Each structure stands twice: as C-alpha cells, then as structure tokens.
Amino acid sequence: MATPMPRPARASVGFEPQTPRLIRGLTIEPSPRRVRAFFGGVPVADSRHPLLAFEPRRMPVYWFPRRDVHADLLRPSGRDDKARPAIERWTLQVGERVAERAAWSYPDPGPEHAALKDHIAFFWDKLDAWFEEDDEVFVHPRDPYHRVDVLRSSRRVRVEVEGQVVAETGRPCLLFETGLPVRYYIPKLDVRMELLEPSDKTTRCPYKGIATYWSLRVNGRLFEDLVWSYPQPIPECPKIEDLLCFWNERTDTIVDGELQERPITPWS
C-alpha cells in the first residue's frame, strides 16, 4: 500500500457555481436563441425573442413573451402581494396532466423588472423538456457567459483513496469550467476498473450532457458515486467522451508530483 502524501498546510480553496460577471442585482438580456418548453408533448412556450434574466446566486431564467406562450393551457393559481414585485402563479394543464404552480409572472413589475412585463417564466423541472434551437438542454438555461474548455495534457495525474492508487495517467484531459475546480478526466485503461462498481445514479449538465456514475470499493469500504463519465457528451465537449473523472473533493489528487488541495464545493 502506498504511503499517503502529507496534505498541504493551507486551507482548501472554496468554489461556488456562479455567473462569471459581477451581478449585483437583476440583469435582463434578450436571447438570440429560439427556445421551446414542452409539457405533455405540447410546446407550451415557443419563442424566438425570449429574455434571459440573471440574479445573484441563482441560475439564469428564460422569460417568454405572453404571445409566445400557450396561454389557454394556463390557469391562475394564486398571487403573492407581499413579494416585491408581486408574483402571480400559474398552473399548467395538458389533457389530464397537471403541473401545479408551474409558471409565474409579475403583473406590476416596477422599474427594475419593467422588461419582464407581459412575460411568463416556467419552473424548469416542472416541464418535460427544453430546447435551445434544436438541441435539448438540461437542468437550466445555458449561460452565454459560462465557459467549458477541455484541454489535452501531458501532466502526470495520480488519484489515491485511503493510500491506494486508483488511477494514474500521463494523458489526462483537463476540464476548466467557470466557477468550478479543474476536473481531471482519465482514460479507462489508466484506471483500476476492478475497484469500480456501476451505480444507478445519473446526472445532467447543460454544458456537458448526461453523466453516469461508479462507486469505488477500497479496503472493504464503499465510496458511493465517486467517479463519473459522459459516455455521449454534447457536441461541444467531445474530448471527454467515455473518460473517467474522480471527485477531487473526496480523493487525493497528485498532479506532476504535487498533492492538490481538496476544493470546497457543494459536492465536498
């Protein structure tokens, strides 16, 4: 068994998913993309002129002009006059399928939200599918200011768990994503696959696609969902296809002989 390397003395760096601009309040921009939202097989919203709204510490939200919304499928479901501005809620129904309070609007938006007058927004996960142009998008709208860059590298990357080397490579792909720590994607041939057990877990990312997971068993201990891969990433990230990535929040990652600090993120 390998001897664990000593940890760096300084504290780990904190990371937080964020929009890369300094947003101090609400920011609203027109989007040039055609955006469609489906529920029950019906495009409940289909717009070539949506607005993209950003707020601090929140994911961006698409707002649709009312003329581009299937308004006959919506019915009022309450109003919150204590909110600033006041919020009107809408329930969505297609046939017998109902999504309670699936949408909201600002009947009297006020100066800061004035651009959202006569617009409606939908809760992303209450609808069945979203498309930007003809590409399906997952989790939330793609932020046009958010970057994902994948670079091939000759750095020597080693991943250890409880002192055992579980992966080692000199041909990783490094994924740099705005607001997140560097991720090291490793070819399967350079991973001890006999230690991995397939997991039922999947996650979706608007910038990379659908991820599948493995758990890692070391020294009789199971580390659940520690490793992930994108078997079929979206076309913008082809370099990471079928490579494996370990949570560097929960493993010892050594790059060119230097033990990396464990980042502090929501996945720590």
Q: Which domains does the chain have, with CATH numbers?
A: 27-137 (2.170.150.40), 148-259 (2.170.150.40)
Helix (H, G, I), strand (E, B) or coil at 166: strand
Closest CA to 237 of 188, 169, 183: 183
Residue 147, number of CB atoms within 10 A of its CB: 12
Which pLDDT value is given to residue 22?
A: 43
pLDDT digits (tens, 9 = 90+) for 185-196: 999 999 999 999
Percent of the chain with pLDDT over 70: 91
Percent of the chain with pLDDT over 90: 76
Question: How would you class 156 by CB atoms within 10 Å of its CB: exposed for 0-12, middle for 13-18, buried for 19 or more?
Answer: middle
pLDDT digits (tens, 9 = 90+) for 113-160: 999 999 999 999 999 999 999 999 999 998 888 999 999 999 999 999
Closest CA to 61 of 6, 149, 122: 122
- Residues 7-24, mean pLDDT to the nearest whole number: 42
Exposed e or buried b per residue across 12-29, where buried means at least 16 C-beta atoms within 10 angstroms of its C-beta: beebeebbeeeeeeeebe
- The winner for highest mean pLDDT among 137-146, 205-214, 234-243 is 205-214
Those residues with Cβ within 8 angstroms of residue 233's Cβ, 6 or more apart along the chain or in another chain:
208, 209, 240, 241
Strand 119-122 with 135-137, pairing? unpaired
pLDDT digits (tens, 9 = 90+) for 42-94: 999 999 999 999 987 788 999 999 999 999 999 999 988 888 889 999 999 99
What's the helix, strand, coil split of the chain in %, to 5?
10, 50, 45
Which pLDDT value is given to residue 12?
A: 40
What pTM was computed for the model?
Answer: 0.76
More confident residue, 17 or 125: 125
Residue 77 φ/ψ, nearest 5 degrees: -135, 35
Mean pLDDT of the chain: 90
More confident residue, 134 or 24: 134
Question: How would you class 261 by CB atoms within 10 Å of its CB: exposed for 0-12, middle for 13-18, buried for 19 or more?
Answer: middle
